[in-house]
Amino acid sequence: MHFLRPVRLVAAVAAFAALALPGVAHADAVTQWNLNATAAVFAANPPTPAAALSFAMVHGAVYDAVNAIDGGYQPYLVRPPANPWDSREAAVATAAYRVLVAVVPSSQTVALANVAAQYASALAAVPDGPTKVGGTAVGEAAAAAMLAARTNDGRNPTAPFPFVFGTTAGAWRISPPLASPESTPWIGNVKPFLVPSAEMLRSDGPNALTSEAYAADFNEVKSLGAFASTTRTADQTNAAIFWQAQSFGLYSGVMRSLSARFALTPAENARLFAMVALASADAAIGCWNDKYYWNFWRPLDAIRLAEDDGNAATEADPSWRALFDPATATAPALATPNVPDHPSGHSCLSSAALNAMQEFFGTDKIAFDIVSSRFAGTPAQTRHFERFSHALKEVIDARVWGGIHFRTADVQGVVLGKKVAHWERKHYFQATD
């Protein structure tokens, strides 16, 4: 158990896990700046995996700032000089703000104006004096360390990415109706935040086209993931669409809810959000590195072109469409993502996030609700889970139900994310007192 207050919180976790009640809205400086960062990063970077890198930088700096004041755990990068009476509110706001103004593009004037106003308001709420000065200095130092560590780390390169578009069976190509590749393929070449290298996360790879395992995956997604599937249930359809949202946005809501339920302190919140954000970032880096290493085709192309795969157990359907088709009634519109299939990005990031949460709370058995940006204002926007692992299982299934991934890509994505979370557990956020 890695709580700062383990005895009381172990009992609280057990009690609330049984109750399965949704968390009441509650905010301290850490959760408030998570909300602020979410709005700013998503305004500047519409839901793409690159957002995970920005959240990692924000929450890594916030953690180092709070940990410098409270102590008890290893720093992520640095432990600036601090006093126990320094303002945590000033430290959190300053660390988050300084990182955000560095990662949010200057073209996002509204987002930057909003975070500037939020920062001014946060500092104005802290009484003037040594406490405020000390907290601000701690936040400045934590942010400066993060920005220095991430200088020239491979984000936002100017050189074109070397896409390899294939025409042979198994090779990735852009699936219709999209006409161009993704905008952030370079994620896989970014320096990791936790693990020594992205290559150490290499997955086992997709099944051979002529194998029974490939045929099983193929026929499953062909049936369950079809636009007009007769084997997919209504709830499976809703689940597939529900999960098509930016993962850290989904899990930030879960963490804020759990923070309120268990009355986490700012120090505990800082560590929880940093653990999840940093693990998610490395999962994104490792996953995108793996995607372009295997460069494997998506189910949409595989099913339409199955006559070329050499497998007698697969049958082509040139007119096959996935549930994730623009004709599906949801906003924003759905389509097969314009990145290689293997491994599943959502599975990688969800596994890292949910395994990090499990590590923080010391148990898998915590009931929670998760709210998606899909189905806004309706009961379908919320799904309930009794365990972190139950949500992860549904993520695996949902990508098949959506018709956008072979199951093997989902399962191996989960393995990749779990590797990151386990590395983090062994090498970071260790108690020192």
What pLDDT digit, counting tens, does each position of 336-375 carry?
999 999 999 999 999 999 999 999 999 999 999 999 999 9
Q: Which amino acid is at 76?
A: Y
- Tens-of-pLDDT digits for all 433 residues of the chain? 444 344 334 434 443 333 333 333 446 999 999 999 999 999 966 667 899 999 999 999 999 999 999 999 999 999 999 999 999 999 999 999 999 999 999 999 999 999 999 999 999 999 999 999 999 999 999 999 999 999 999 999 999 999 999 999 999 999 999 999 999 999 999 999 999 999 999 999 999 999 999 999 999 999 999 999 999 999 999 999 999 999 999 999 999 999 999 999 999 999 999 999 999 999 999 999 999 999 999 999 999 999 999 999 999 999 999 999 999 999 999 999 999 999 999 999 999 999 999 999 999 999 999 999 999 999 999 999 999 999 999 999 999 999 999 999 999 999 999 999 999 999 999 999 7
Cis peptide before 343 (omega within 30 of 0): yes
The SS3 assignment for 286 reads: helix
Cα separation, 120 vs 388, in Å, equals 37
Q: What residues contact residue 304 under an 8 Å CB cut-off, 6+ apart?
A: 316, 317, 318, 319, 320
* Local structure of residue 45 (DSSP, 8 states): S
How many angstroms separate the most distant Cα atoms in the chain?
76
Q: How do the domains of the chain map onto residue ranges? A: 26-149, 185-427
In CATH terms, the fold of domain 185-427 is Vanadium-containing Chloroperoxidase; domain 2 (1.10.606)
The SS3 assignment for 52 reads: helix
Domain over 26-149 is classified CATH 1.20.144.10: yes
- Going by C-alpha positions, the residue among 289, 298, 246, 247 that lies closest to residue 408 is 298
Q: Which amino acid is at 24?
A: V
Could you tell me if 52 and 192 are in contact, meaning their C-beta atoms sit under 8 angstroms apart? no
Could you tell me if 423 and 194 are in contact, meaning their C-beta atoms sit under 8 angstroms apart? yes
C-alpha 111 chain-centroid distance = 21
Cα separation, 147 vs 172, in Å, equals 35
